Amino acid sequence: MRIWFSTLTLRPGTWFDGTIVGTSNVASVEVRTAAFSINSSRLAPGVYHFHMRVLELPPLSRRHSYELYIIARNTPGDEAVEEAPLRIE
């Protein structure tokens, strides 16, 4: 899996973009942390993208580091998981 993110430090009011490229049998891609979950849109077989505005988060969620999980699933539900460090300011 190849993964690109616009940033790994999120601030309220900014945009967070990502593109995930996997094999053609990938049926869905979810990008998830303890604070939020994103279902990526399919652009082509094996190519997924998301574009979201970072909303204001509760003070207890900010200034913390999280593990960002990128979960690719095929039709039967088998998962491939990649991880990346994410900071929320």
DSSP the chain: -EEEES-SEE-TTSEEEEEEE--TTEEEEEEE-SS-EEEPEEEETTEEEEEEEPPP--GGGSSEEEEEEEEEEETT--EEEEEEEEEE-
pLDDT digits (tens, 9 = 90+) for 20-73: 999 999 999 999 998 789 999 999 999 999 999 998 877 766 778 899 999 999
Share of the chain above pLDDT 70, in %: 98
pLDDT digits (tens, 9 = 90+) for 28-38: 999 999 878 99
**Predicted structure pTM score:** 0.88
Domain limits, the chain: 2-88
Round the average pLDDT of the chain to a whole number and report it: 93
User: 2-88 has which fold?
Assistant: Immunoglobulin-like (2.60.40)
Instruction: Find the mean pLDDT for residues 72-81.
Output: 95
